[in-house]
Amino acid sequence: MSVRIAVSGAAGRMGRRTIELAMADPEVRVVAAVESRGHPWVGKHLADVARVAGSEVCVGDRLSPEDRVQVIVDFSTPEGAVERARDAANLGAALVTGTTGLSAEQLDELGEISGRIPMLRAANFSIGVNMLLKLAREAAEALGEAFEVEIVEVHHHGKADAPSGTALAIAEAVAEARGRSLEKNAVYGRKGRVGPRKPAEIGIHAVRMGDVVGEHTVYFAAAGERLMLGHVAASRDAFASGALRAAKWICGKPAGTYSMSDVLKS
């Protein structure tokens, strides 16, 4: 039986592609699509605004109990992610969200709601990126303090937040592996007479240009050598298919906070 999903942020790049892939996946069924109030897509049929056919779903600005949603897949805004989490709690649904750029207060509220529903948060749903996270953590621990760490991410010129959630996740993995506080040791770009690089720094740099889907590179550098771990996303299918895989996995799970590593382990 197919998992009944709602896609939040339906008009965005990720929302549209998730809907398109879901429509071709017999294991899921798109029963609702949501956008912010006043968005020009609200009230329009999915077939009129996305490359889909065979669906009677219209884009709305709220979710209804009549939709019988089992999992909400969210690629919206920080405010939208919190609102969808509240919806999930009210509807008894699970939440899978890839929205980044949330404030500490918003993260706290999501944490509280995850005590009532199954919730999976991921900065990136790509299988390759999640392997990069694992390798970066292992390299940071194995190479030790002799190797300095710099992270560079590249995205399209329309990306709203910087650095990317994925770059921050990589930096956090490195910091944890070395027993450091990312908040105290992160350096976001450099300008002016900053002086010599401090040994514990974790450099994080954001590049915005063209239509780049997503590129992440982690550099480990010591005297005389440099190790580079990287991932390049050629299309958003890597993210959308991963989100659908997560939605199918989390359906029916107990309340709690989950990650893509939980999905990959299974």
Quick one: 55 and 26 in the same domain?
A: yes
For 145, 146, 183, 242, the CA distances from 201, given in Å and listed in that order, are: 10, 12, 10, 32
Which residues does the annotation mark as catalytic? 155, 159
Quick one: 228 and 240 in the same domain?
A: no
Quick one: 67 and 163 in the same domain?
A: no
State residue 55's pLDDT score: 76
Q: 216-260 pLDDT, tens per residue?
A: 999 999 999 999 999 999 998 999 999 999 999 999 999 999 999
Q: 21-60 pLDDT, tens per residue?
A: 999 999 999 999 999 998 998 998 887 777 776 678 999 9
Quick one: 14 and 104 in the same domain?
A: yes
For residue 163, is the peptide bond before it cis, meaning its omega torsion is within 30 degrees of 0? yes
Token digits for 59?
A: 């884009």
Residues in Cβ contact with 147 at an 8 Å cutoff, skipping those fewer than 6 apart: 139, 140, 220, 221, 222, 227
Quick one: 13 and 102 in the same domain?
A: yes
How many structural domains compose the chain?
2
Q: Say if CB 154 and CB 209 are below 8 A apart.
A: yes
Quick one: 25 and 41 in the same domain?
A: yes
State residue 54's pLDDT score: 64
Quick one: 40 and 99 in the same domain?
A: yes
Distance CA 109, CA 111 (A): 5
Q: 146-158 pLDDT, tens per residue?
A: 999 999 999 999 9
Q: How confident is the model at residue 116 (pLDDT cuts 50, 70, 90)?
A: very high
Q: 83-106 pLDDT, tens per residue?
A: 999 999 999 999 999 998 889 999
Task: Read off the pTM.
Answer: 0.81
Q: 158-198 pLDDT, tens per residue?
A: 998 899 999 999 999 999 999 999 999 999 999 999 999 99
| Residue range of the domain that includes 60 | 3-121+236-265
